[in-house]
């Protein structure tokens, strides 16, 4: 199976106002340590963009000097689409891709409704290595730096898009990718914890949150997002009634 690992560096986390500063990808076959393609691009800033926020520059080391040498975002995404086709990519893999990379790009390409080919990027199967890989109990966090260290290696240049992709793909190679892919294809659902106020710590211990998950609001409810295939396991282990609460 052929993968395209993807990472995006941006000026912030707000899809509406942040700009991409760097995009990188690596194309490789599952289990093969040799990449077929490795490409990285700084992204040219829009005309009204004057500086990289200081905290972002400190984190990524990307400055206006780099961006002024960059390529337009539309050009880079068109090239990405051509690489998916040229190499017969089966899945796009991004760490926290579901939570950030994919929706970030979807927000940006809305500006080009006349370019249907770029929309095809999202028709490919996407895999989020932060949630679709089931990490061992001893691996307590899904942060890429932590996960890499857990498996015995270190990313020497964190927040450099190409090195982050290489690190992520090495992590993914620790798993049976057929199982990772099956989980990626399984839909998410929301469940609620039926607990009294004095038992709320039971819900917290299982990572339920009160009322709000992202942009979704569940009034007066302890809620959690899980894969549909995990519903019975959650009910068996929770120690309190668990109800499905799709809204």
Helices and strands counted in the chain (H then E): 10, 9
6 near 128, Cβ under 8 Å?
Answer: no
The conformation of residue 134, written as its DSSP 8-state character, comes to -
Amino acid 204: pLDDT: 94
Residues of the chain where predicted confidence (pLDDT) is lower than 70: 246-247
Sorted by where each begins, the domain ranges of the chain are: 2-184, 188-244
User: Class of the 2-184 domain?
Assistant: alpha beta
Would you state the pLDDT for residue 13? 87
Residue 247 has what pLDDT?
56
- pLDDT digits 0-9 by tens, 123-176: 999 999 999 999 998 898 889 999 999 999 999 999 999 999 999 999 999 999
Nearest alpha-carbon partner for 238 in 196, 198, 207, 197: 207
Residue 214 backbone phi and psi in degrees, to 5: 60, -125
Cα 208 off chain centre by: 21
Q: Which of 85, 78, 82, 106 is nearest to 94 (CA)?
A: 106
Which tens digits make up the pLDDT trace of 76-91? 999 999 999 999 999 9
Structure tokens at 125: 């199967």
Q: Is the dihedral of CA 84, 65, 69, 11 positive or negative?
A: positive
13: tokens are 């986390």
Q: What is the dihedral of CA 99, 104, 105, 108, to 10 degrees?
A: 160
Helix (H, G, I), strand (E, B) or coil at 190: strand
């Amino acid at each position: 199976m052929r993968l395209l690992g993807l990472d995006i560096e941006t000026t912030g986390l707000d899809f509406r106002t942040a700009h991409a500063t760097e995009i990188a990808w690596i194309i490789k076959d599952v289990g093969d340590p040799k990449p077929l393609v490795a490409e990285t691009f700084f992204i040219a800033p829009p005309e009204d963009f004057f500086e990289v926020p200081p905290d972002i520059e400190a984190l990524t080391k990307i400055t206006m000097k780099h961006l002024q040498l960059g390529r337009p975002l539309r050009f880079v995404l068109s090239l990405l689409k051509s690489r998916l086709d040229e190499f017969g990519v089966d899945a796009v893999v991004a760490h926290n891709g579901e939570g950030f990379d994919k929706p970030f790009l979807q927000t940006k390409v809305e500006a080009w409704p006349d370019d249907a080919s770029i929309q095809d990027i999202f028709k490919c199967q996407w895999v989020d290595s932060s949630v679709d890989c089931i990490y061992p109990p001893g691996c307590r966090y899904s942060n890429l730096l932590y996960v890499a260290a857990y498996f015995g290696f270190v990313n020497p240049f964190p927040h450099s898009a190409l090195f982050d992709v290489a690190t992520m793909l090495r992590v993914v190679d620790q798993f049976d990718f057929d199982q990772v892919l099956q989980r990626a294809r399984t839909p998410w659902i929301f469940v609620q914890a039926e607990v009294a106020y004095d038992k709320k710590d039971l819900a917290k211990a299982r990572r339920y949150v009160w009322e709000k998950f992202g942009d979704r609001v569940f009034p007066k409810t302890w809620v959690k997002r899980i894969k549909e295939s995990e519903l019975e396991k959650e009910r068996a282990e929770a120690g309190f009634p668990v109800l499905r609460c799709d809204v």
